[in-house]
Amino acid sequence: MDLILILEQSLNGLQFGLMLFLLAAGLTLVFGIMDMINLAHGSLYMIGAFLAAWLAQLTQSFWLGMALAIPLTGLVGMVLEYTILRTLYERDHLSQVLATFALILILNESVKMIWGSDLALSAPRALSGPVELFPGFMYPSYRLLIIGVGLMVALLMWLLVTRTKMGAWVRAGASNREMAMAMGLNIQKIFTFVFALGACLCAVAGTLLAPLFAVQVGMGEGILILAFVVIVIGGIGSIWGAFVGSIMVGCVDTLGRSLLPHLFRELFPAQLAASLGPAMASIMVYLLMIVVLFFRPQGLFSRRA
């Protein structure tokens, strides 16, 4: 197995993990503070990607499209929280799941009516080529940009949560919502802030991944499943847990899909390896979750441990 291949796929796993973190960070805070299961979180990722693609076509600029799509997606998130999701906070989890699943269907059809089933968004031309990281190893410059932006956003999130007053309120709400309310915190404003922040992070992830994947209706559902796996592994309500869990899931998923088929071709007959490799790669993430939950049922860094 080629060392260059392993290194390349490791960077791909880091890149995918950082984008998962952008989704999981908002989702884990919504789940941790509001005790709400929001299946429509992935729809904000889809809306952010569609807004970025549409605005990039209008302005003829990838960067301007991204800069406009992020606050607009945050505004969409605030409107959804204020009009629909706020009514679900006191409901049981089954009601939340059913209502937000219905919201997925509504948002999918709404996006289809506005923009159609798909849009195209290309990476900036200046970042279309590879970069030589060291002799003999070329890596796409756009994927390096995604890694850089992901690390920068993760750092900003850490600073926000650990070094600001709003971050202290968010941590208090994630740790013990009832006590935070008893101490006089306006938990409703914190809810709205967290939801808007999560929507903005979804837009960042959707915009950056749009040139690599298709911008199409329903694109948020698959990645939402992985985001839920991340917060289960990392621990509900923990930003640090979301970061660690995202990197673990991103690397396991990417390395499993790229390396397991090569490994099985060395160990098993070709026909068996052709079917066993993809099958095992698809369940590696869930095996990781099972192992973590066996030893740490509350997650690695749960705020509610």
pLDDT digits (tens, 9 = 90+) for 114-161: 998 888 888 888 887 788 777 778 888 888 889 998 899 889 888 888
Q: Evaluate whether residue 226 is within a structural domain.
A: no
Q: Residue 60, by phi and psi: left (phi above 0), alpha (psi -120 to 50) or beta? A: left
Stronger pLDDT, 69 or 279, i.e. the higher one: 69
Structure confidence at residue 284 (pLDDT) = 86
- Is the pLDDT at 268 greater than 80, yes or no? no
pLDDT band at 95 (very low <50, low <70, confident <90, very high): confident
- Is the pLDDT at 296 greater than 90, yes or no? no
Rounded distance between C-alpha atoms, residue 131 and residue 112, angstroms? 37
pLDDT band at 247 (very low <50, low <70, confident <90, very high): very high
Number of domains into which the chain is organized = 1
Identify the CA nearest to 150 among candidates 17, 24, 250. 17
- Is the pLDDT at 1 greater than 60, yes or no? no
Q: What is the pTM of this model?
A: 0.86
pLDDT band at 50 (very low <50, low <70, confident <90, very high): very high
Structure confidence at residue 68 (pLDDT) = 94
What is the number of other CB atoms lying within 10 angstroms of the CB of residue 116? 11
- Is the pLDDT at 221 greater than 70, yes or no? yes
* Three-state DSSP state, 185: coil
- Is the pLDDT at 100 greater than 70, yes or no? yes
Q: Evaluate whether residue 301 is within a structural domain.
A: no
Do the strands 215-216 and 130-134 form a parallel or antiparallel pair, or are they unpaired? Answer: unpaired
Q: Evaluate whether residue 140 is within a structural domain.
A: yes
- State the residue for tokens 């940009």: 145
Q: Evaluate whether residue 31 is within a structural domain.
A: yes
What is the number of other CB atoms lying within 10 angstroms of the CB of residue 9? 17
- Is the pLDDT at 211 greater than 50, yes or no? yes
Stronger pLDDT, 167 or 293, i.e. the higher one: 293
Segments forming the whole domain that contains residue 62: 3-217
Average pLDDT over residues 247-260: 84
Give the angle subtended at the CA of 117 by the CAs of 115 and 123, to the nearest 5°: 75
Q: Evaluate whether residue 112 is within a structural domain.
A: yes
Q: What percent of the chain has pLDDT over 70?
A: 95
Q: Evaluate whether residue 7 is within a structural domain.
A: yes
**Cβ atoms 283, 219 nearer than 8 A:** no
Average pLDDT over residues 95-107: 90
Structure confidence at residue 64 (pLDDT) = 93
Structure confidence at residue 66 (pLDDT) = 92
Structure confidence at residue 110 (pLDDT) = 92
Q: Evaluate whether residue 227 is within a structural domain.
A: no
Q: Evaluate whether residue 253 is within a structural domain.
A: no
- Is the pLDDT at 305 greater than 60, yes or no? no
